[in-house]
Structure 1
C-alpha cells in the first residue's frame, strides 16, 4: 500500500482532491464499515445502508474538486452520512404518503377502469424505456426489477462481478428516473 496508511485523514483528503485514487481507497477502507454501521443503526436495512454509504463515497470522488471539509474528515463523513440518511427517511415518508393517496384513489370504483388503462399504458412506456437501455444494462435491470434477483444472483447468472451489476442498476436508474418521472407527472396531471 506504499505508505498511505500512515497519512492522516486530512492529508488523504488533500490527496483525494488532487485525484489520487490510492488515497481515496485508503479513506474508503478506513471509514466504510464505520459509516455503514452508522447508517444501519438508523435505517435498519443492510442493503439501504450499503447503498447509501456507496453513494456517499461515489459523491466524494465525483465532487472531489469542489468539496471543502471544515474540521476533521471523520466528522464530515459522519455528518454527510447522517444527512443522507435523514434525506432518505424523508423521501420514504413522501413516497408512503403518495402510495397511501394512490391507494385511496384506486379504492374509488368510478376511476378503476381509467386507472387500469393508464397503468397498462405506463407499463408499456416503462418497458419501452427499459428496452432502449444498452443491451447488458437492460438485461441486468430487468433481472433486478422484474425477477427480483439480488445483485449477487444476477452476477452469478451473468458471470459478472457484483459491483458491475450494482453499477449497471444505478446507471439504469439514473437514465430512467428523469424520463419516467416526467411521464408519470404528466399522467398524474390527467388523473387529477
Structure 2
C-alpha cells in the first residue's frame, strides 16, 4: 500500500517506528492547513514558519514517546494553538520587560545626571561660601548650617544682633551675585 493512502493512525504507528516516509507524509498532509490556521492567528509569516518548524522537529525528536490521545489532526491543531499562545505570552513578557528596562534606564540616567549636577552645584556653593570674609562666613554658616537665630549668634560671638543681620544680608547679596539668581534661589 502506498504511504499516501495510509490513515493517520497508520502513519503515526510507522512514525513511532522511526520511518522517515511516515513523518514526511504527515508533514505534507498537514503543513499547509496548519500554516493557514496559524497565520490567521498571528499574521506573521516568519513566526508561523518558526512555530511549525519547531512543532515538526519536536514530533520527529519525540516520535517514540509521542502521546496522541485523540486524532493526529486534533493533536497537531492543539499543538499549534498552544505554541501560538506561548509565543503571544512570551512576546508580551518581552515587550513589558523591554519597556520596563527602557524606563529604568531613562530614569536611572536622569537620576545619575541630576545627582551629578546637584553635587556640582553644592560644591560651587560651598566654594563661594568659603571665599566670604572670615567673620561673615562664620556668621552665615551659623545662621544657615546650624540654624541659629540672629540673637543666638550675637550672644555666641558677643556682637549686636544688628551686626549679625547685616553680615547675613551682605553674605546673601554676595552669593546671589556670584551664583546667579537661579542657583541662589535653589539653595537659599
TM category (shorter chain) comes to 0.5 to 0.7
> 1:106, 1:112 within 8 Å by CA — same for their partners in 2?
no
- Give how far 1:111 is off: 6.6
Q: What secondary structure is seen at the aligned counterpart in 2 of 1:69? A: coil
Report Cα offsets for 1:118-153 as digits up to 9, x if no partner: xxxxxxxxxxxxxxxxxxxxxxxxxxxxxxxxxxxx
1:8–1:99 CA distance, 2 compared to 1 (3 A)? same
Q: RMSD of the alignment, in Å? A: 1.6
Sort the Cα spacing of 1:5 and 1:112 in 2 relative to 1 into closer, same or farther, 3 A: farther
1:71: Cα distance to partner?
1.5
- Work out whether residues 39 and 82 of structure 1, in 8 Å CA contact, stay in contact via their aligned partners in 2: yes
Residues 102, 75 of structure 1: alpha-carbon distance in 2 compared, 3 angstrom cutoff: same
- TM-superposed deviation, 1:27: 0.4
TM-score by length of 2: 0.57
2:175: which partner in 1?
none
Question: How many angstroms does 1:68 deviate by?
Answer: 1.0
Equivalent residue, structure 1, for 2:69: 70
The aligned counterpart of 1:106 is 105
Shift of the alpha carbon at 1:110? Answer: 4.7
CA distance, structure 1, for counterparts of residue 68 and residue 31 of structure 2: 18
Q: Any runs of at least 4 consecutive aligned residues in structure 1 with deviations exceeding 6 A, and if so which?
A: none
2:3 corresponds to 1:4:
yes
Confirm or deny that 1:14 pairs with 2:13.
yes
Match of residue 135 from structure 2: none
* Distance across 2 between alignment mates of 1:90 and 1:110: 31
User: 1:112/1:87 Cα in 2 relative to 1: closer, same or farther (>3 Å)?
Assistant: farther
Contact residue 10 and residue 73 of structure 1 kept, 8 A: yes
**Separation in structure 2 between the aligned mates of residue 32 and residue 52 of structure 1, nearest angstrom:** 11
Distance (Å, rounded) in 2 between the aligned partners of 1:111 and 1:77: 51
**Cα distance in 2 for residues equivalent to 1:56 and 1:13:** 15
User: What is the CA deviation profile of residues 129-187 of structure 1, one whole-angstrom value per residue up to 9, with x for unaligned ones?
Assistant: xxxxxxxxxxxxxxxxxxxxxxxxxxxxxxxxxxxxxxxxxxxxxxxxxxxxxxxxxxx
Q: What count of residue pairs does the alignment treat as equivalent?
A: 112
With normalisation by structure 1, the TM-score equals 0.56
Unaligned runs of 5+ residues in structure 1 are 114-192
Match of 2:40 in 1: 41
Q: Which residue of 2 aligns with 1:158?
A: none
Matches within 5 A, 1:17-36: 17-36=16-35
Structure 2: gaps (5+ residues):
114-188
Deviation at 1:112, TM superposition (A): 7.2
